Chains A and B, each alone.
Chain A
Amino acid sequence: MSRSPLQPFFDAKGWRPFDFQKEVWEAYLSGKSGLLHAPTGQGKTLAVYLGPLVESMGDGGGCRVLWLTPLRALAADTLRALREPLEVLAPGKEAEARTGDTPTALRARLRKKLPHTLVTTPESLSLMLTHGEFAEKLAGLRCVIVDEWHELLGTKRGVQTELCLSRLRAWFPGVRIWGLSATLGNLTDARRALMGSAFEGSVEVTADLKKPIVIETLIPREMDRFPWSGHIGTRLVGQVADEIEKAQVTLLFTNTRSQTEIWFQELCAVRPKWKEQMAMHHGSLDRAERDHAENGLRDGSLKCVVATSSLDLGVDFSPVDQVIQVGSPKGVARLLQRAGRSGHQPGSVSRILGVPTHAMELVEFAAARDAALARNVESRVPLRKPLDLLVQHLVTCAIGAPFEADMMRREIESCDAFVGLTDEEWHWALGFISNGGAALAAYPRYQKARIEEGRYIVDDKRLILQHRLSIGTISSDPAVSIKFANGHTLGTVEESFISKIKPGSSLVFAGKQLTLVRFHQRTATVKLSTRKTKGQVAIWGGSKMPLSSELSHAMALRLQGYGDPVVEMKAVEPILAIQRRWSRVPSDEVLLVEHARSREGEHLFFYPFAGRLVHEGLAALVAFRISRESGVAIHTTQNDYGFSLTAQRGLVLDEEEIRFYLREEGLLDDLLECMNTAELARRQFREIARVSGLILQTPPGQKNRSQRELQSSASLLYEVLHRYDPGNLLLLQSQREILEKQLELTRLTEVIRRLHGIPMHLVETANLTPMAFPLWADRLSATLPAGDAASRLEIMLASLNTAADSIRNHTEA
């Protein structure tokens, strides 16, 4: 590319372009699409943006670049970054953002005329596709840029993006697509998913800016009193406060929103003088609270922000000079991403300080560093054929402009996610969005899209409105806003949490001690607590993310003694020595199984190192198979390292028997039978029902009376479909999703095969070992409810009677 058009911009900045930037510009200008793999930082934005910008400098009006961002919170920062070169190189051309946050006036203006560069989200882009004139407005589009593609890949929003891109490719065959991605274990898959049918000929560019990353761990001063298990682990709060003291601005990450609230409280308690200089950031907090934290990080006016993954992405906070990770890093990519939030000043190093909440996390941090240095980063597996999104997208398209089925099918199949779509699936989807079709004979008088001269049309105003409200695939539990009586909103919690708190009781939220005044409809009114009691910390559903395969493997290597000596391993050595003395140190080259006896009966502990979801599935599977043979009732627990079985008797097994219970044969059938998958699939169905338009969305705060008779819950719909249309492909999808999401079925199958091929050590232990203890201590925590409603109720009634009997016996004695 000729350097001259860009010269003024680089001269003004006093910069020299990086090689990877030139590489992207050249590829772009020679008509290629591609994926740029780069760490966070300014350089990648210019790399993908300057090509289309320079190319379109002389163009007339109209939209030339579409910039997709996964988070609408990033839109404002992105816009700022794009306007800089735009003002220098193409003065007079505009960049605007169109997201869920865009004010109505600007939205109306954008509907009339699009700017040169439009920043938007996948949901907003979908929504724009429902406006028929959008295609004309976009005429002249040169490039679509998808930011943070690794975040979208493997999610339904990622597939929504693919579908939108297929529409744009069909409209504008010459359009180039560029993605930006952080490090992934499967960059080629990521590029294929983004490019779809345009994969051949696309390029992958790597910005090999070896930005140094330092991963350190806070070693507990009193290691002998450091717990073997636990999740909250605020024991190190004093040491953490010392570290915060030393730095200018600290970003402290935790793994859950509850943990964020707890750490914020504890830090305020040990350093009351920081109260005004600390803030909190998580997804349930009100926008204003989050803005306060973000602005404080941007201008460096805050000392410390305690955050969840809500701050993982995008936004550059230059003043941040220290990142702290509390608790398990869970994955290598995640730790690298979080480390990358610091050290944005030129020449500085990204560093992250790991804070273990229990002993084994010391090993996790050491392992994460090993894997990060070896660039052994997790993959994200793209989703395959989510039909709920397909039917949503078909309605979106039919609202925008009538479509012809065969042409539309070719367009859909140009998406990587829908390669291999079968005739059955396609005709089912067409029936679902129009008048039932042959596969949906149980749907008399149903009609959504009309078919006119072989083309599918949705022109009913009410249906169009309904559909626009339902676009968007992120779903969550019904949210309840938390407000003060004066109307000031603090944020949202899940209904299931607030409904368990009685008025007058206290709770902790947004870093405040609160008392619940009343809970009415979807608002909980609170006031500040006057008493100094500790309230319940709000609990959010959210997933318990399992340890990644890559990190588990790195950890197993460390436990086997591989790698250079590091402080973490030295600190944890006394505990490993106990483990070695009483049993063995587990690894993934040998399956360690411990058998122990206690007052409760017998215990078996397995350590496959495969993450908690896989262990949950394995535990249920083995327990189910043993019970089926011997009839004993078995209780299970699991964590990221292993799982346990507890029974009053019947767990004295030899290696052959254990291998028999861990066999691959009959795996899926046994899992479906033992995991209460019906209940799990019913829960998963909520998201599918929303995406596919089975459940109507009402805008928050509005009670639409005319829609009231169309309300139903996802579980009710699941029942109805299950009973009257059991072949419905959405039911099958929900079962498939639940097996992957809740059980990681693919990974579980691989683990069973791996265990099959390695030797087993069966050890009888006199005491619970350091590895076994956390599993034993977890036995009281919640597990999935097993059995039908009647059996569960009988168990509860029986335990009530037992409790009553024991009280009676005590009083009589």
Chain B
Amino acid sequence: MIRHFPTIRLLPEGVVFLTDTATLVLADVHLGKSAAFRAKGLPVPEGDSARDFQRLLELSARHHAAELVIAGDLFHAPSGITPELEGALGEFLESIGIPVTLVIGNHDSGVSNLGVKLRAVPHLDLGYRVRVIHDPAHASGDLMHLSGHWHPVVRIPDGKRTSLRLPCFLLRGNTLVMPAFGSFTGGAIIRPEVGDRIFVALRDEVIELPDRLIG
């Protein structure tokens, strides 16, 4: 068992990579969101879920991942889990060829009725003192927590009455909140607190934002 704190890399795709164990961690995919919209009579086209599966496969291959962990909200709503989506999920799990674990999020209530075999747990400990949870509010103790749920977006004013809004990683205390991964997910603007550290993707890398840029 590894007894040192693992290296946590933030990738520009909005995911976390634990280099020691080659574990990819990400949050809030919201598969089947457009299908859930259509089921309620809102004409939103399909395509988001297929694209997200494709992005996950590419990420996994590029980083030679050994394991994939989803920190909650893999699905959007039970009404969005169509037979087509279940089929695509089965195919995806087969093609990715590595263990996939879902930490159950508040949108994942349909997961118990899935026809596809998917490991689903309330939370997951990863190696030395790192725990994956969905809702940052459930962080406890002095473990390092990887979480999602908030879909954090940072607002950066440019001094000309307009501003940039970028999905971001938010490190608050021992809890890292990851941006939402899904193609059809929105974000919520965070209100930074003293001591927060904020990281955003800039082209091919992730940089930490200087405090003075944050409005």
| 0 or 1 for each of B3-35: is its CB under 8 Å from A? (1 = yes) | 000000000000000000000000000000011
A443 to B37, CA, bound (A): 10
Query: What is the minimal beta-carbon distance from A146 to any residue of chain B, in angstroms?
Result: 32
Q: Which residues of B (118-167) have their CB < 8 Å from a CB of A? A: 156-158, 160-162, 164, 166
| Residues from chain B with Cβ under 8 Å of A539 in the complex | 161
Contact of B44 among A717, A792, A800 (CB under 8 A): A717
A633 at the interface (CB under 8 A from B): no
A790 to B157, CA, bound (A): 14
| 0 or 1 for each of A696-729: is its CB under 8 Å from B? (1 = yes) | 1000000000000111110011001101110010
Contact B158 A444 (CB under 8 A): no
Contact B156 A725 (CB under 8 A): no
A304 to B36, CA, bound (A): 55
B186 at the interface (CB under 8 A from A): yes
Contact A445 B82 (CB under 8 A): yes
Q: Which of A446, A717, A782, A792 has the most CB of B within 10 A?
A: A446
A696 to B40, CA, bound (A): 11
B117 at the interface (CB under 8 A from A): no
Contact of A443 among B40, B43, B166, B213 (CB under 8 A): B43
> Interface size on A (CB < 8 Å)?
45
| Residues from chain A with Cβ under 8 Å of B43 in the complex | 432, 436, 440, 443, 446, 448, 694
Contact of B156 among A446, A462, A793 (CB under 8 A): A793
| Residues from chain A with Cβ under 8 Å of B46 in the complex | 442-444, 724
| Residues from chain B with Cβ under 8 Å of A443 in the complex | 38, 43-46
A447 at the interface (CB under 8 A from B): yes
Contact B158 A694 (CB under 8 A): no
A503 to B43, CA, bound (A): 41
| Residues from chain B with Cβ under 8 Å of A466 in the complex | 41
| Residues from chain A with Cβ under 8 Å of B45 in the complex | 440, 442-443, 720-721, 724-725, 728
A793 to B167, CA, bound (A): 13
Contact A463 B41 (CB under 8 A): yes
A797 to B202, CA, bound (A): 11
The residue of chain B having its C-beta at the shortest distance from the C-beta of A799 within the complex is B159
Contact B47 A442 (CB under 8 A): yes
| Residues from chain A with Cβ under 8 Å of B158 in the complex | 785, 792, 796
Q: Which residues of B (181-215) have their CB < 8 Å from a CB of A? A: 183-186, 189, 200, 202-203, 210, 212-213, 215
The residue of chain A having its C-beta at the shortest distance from the C-beta of B200 within the complex is A793
| Residues from chain B with Cβ under 8 Å of A789 in the complex | 164, 166
Contact A783 B160 (CB under 8 A): yes
| Residues from chain A with Cβ under 8 Å of B35 in the complex | 444-445
B42 at the interface (CB under 8 A from A): yes
| Residues from chain A with Cβ under 8 Å of B161 in the complex | 539, 782
Contact B42 A696 (CB under 8 A): yes
A19 at the interface (CB under 8 A from B): no
Q: A712-B184, A716-B186, A724-B48 are in contact. Are A448 and B160 (CB under 8 A)?
A: no
Query: What is the minimal beta-carbon distance from B43 to any residue of chain A, in angstroms?
Result: 6
Query: What is the minimal beta-carbon distance from A720 to any residue of chain B, in angstroms?
Result: 5
Contact of B213 among A446, A693, A716, A797 (CB under 8 A): A797
A202 to B49, CA, bound (A): 55
Contact A792 B164 (CB under 8 A): yes
Contact B38 A709 (CB under 8 A): no
| Residues from chain B with Cβ under 8 Å of A712 in the complex | 37, 184, 186
Contact B37 A710 (CB under 8 A): yes
| Residues from chain B with Cβ under 8 Å of A436 in the complex | 43
B98 at the interface (CB under 8 A from A): no
A481 to B84, CA, bound (A): 44
Contact B77 A709 (CB under 8 A): yes
Interface residues on chain B, size class = 35 or more
A365 to B71, CA, bound (A): 64
Contact A713 B186 (CB under 8 A): yes
The residue of chain B having its C-beta at the shortest distance from the C-beta of A395 within the complex is B41
A781 to B160, CA, bound (A): 7
| Residues from chain B with Cβ under 8 Å of A442 in the complex | 45-47
Query: What is the minimal beta-carbon distance from B203 to any residue of chain A, in angstroms?
Result: 5
A445 to B49, CA, bound (A): 15
The residue of chain A having its C-beta at the shortest distance from the C-beta of B107 within the complex is A709
The residue of chain A having its C-beta at the shortest distance from the C-beta of B207 within the complex is A797
| Residues from chain B with Cβ under 8 Å of A783 in the complex | 160
The residue of chain A having its C-beta at the shortest distance from the C-beta of B48 within the complex is A720
Contact of A724 among B47, B76, B186, B213 (CB under 8 A): B47
B61 at the interface (CB under 8 A from A): no
A500 at the interface (CB under 8 A from B): yes
A432 to B42, CA, bound (A): 9
| Residues from chain B with Cβ under 8 Å of A406 in the complex | none
A693 to B82, CA, bound (A): 23
The residue of chain A having its C-beta at the shortest distance from the C-beta of B84 within the complex is A444
A112 to B157, CA, bound (A): 54
Contact of A447 among B41, B51, B213 (CB under 8 A): B41
B39 at the interface (CB under 8 A from A): yes
Contact B162 A790 (CB under 8 A): no
Query: What is the minimal beta-carbon distance from B116 to any residue of chain A, in angstroms?
Result: 19
Q: A709-B77, A721-B45, A724-B46 are in contact. Are A444 and B203 (CB under 8 A)?
A: no
Query: What is the minimal beta-carbon distance from A395 to any residue of chain B, in angstroms?
Result: 9
Query: What is the minimal beta-carbon distance from B182 to any residue of chain A, in angstroms?
Result: 10
| Residues from chain B with Cβ under 8 Å of A793 in the complex | 156, 164, 166, 200, 202
| 0 or 1 for each of A772-802: is its CB under 8 Å from B? (1 = yes) | 0000000001110100011011101100100
A716 to B40, CA, bound (A): 18
Q: Which residues of A (703-758) have their CB < 8 Å from a CB of B? A: 709-713, 716-717, 720-721, 723-725, 728
A55 at the interface (CB under 8 A from B): no
The residue of chain A having its C-beta at the shortest distance from the C-beta of B38 within the complex is A446
A440 to B38, CA, bound (A): 12
A460 at the interface (CB under 8 A from B): yes
Contact B186 A460 (CB under 8 A): no
Q: A709-B77, A792-B158, A796-B156 are in contact. Are A720 and B34 (CB under 8 A)?
A: yes
Closest 7 CB pairs of A and B: A724-B47, A442-B45, A446-B38, A725-B45, A724-B45, A782-B160, A448-B41
Known: A499-B189, A694-B44. 20 other contacts (CB 8 A): A443-B44, A444-B38, A445-B38, A446-B38, A447-B38, A462-B40, A694-B42, A716-B185, A716-B186, A720-B47, A720-B48, A721-B44, A723-B51, A725-B45, A728-B45, A782-B160, A792-B158, A796-B156, A796-B164, A800-B212
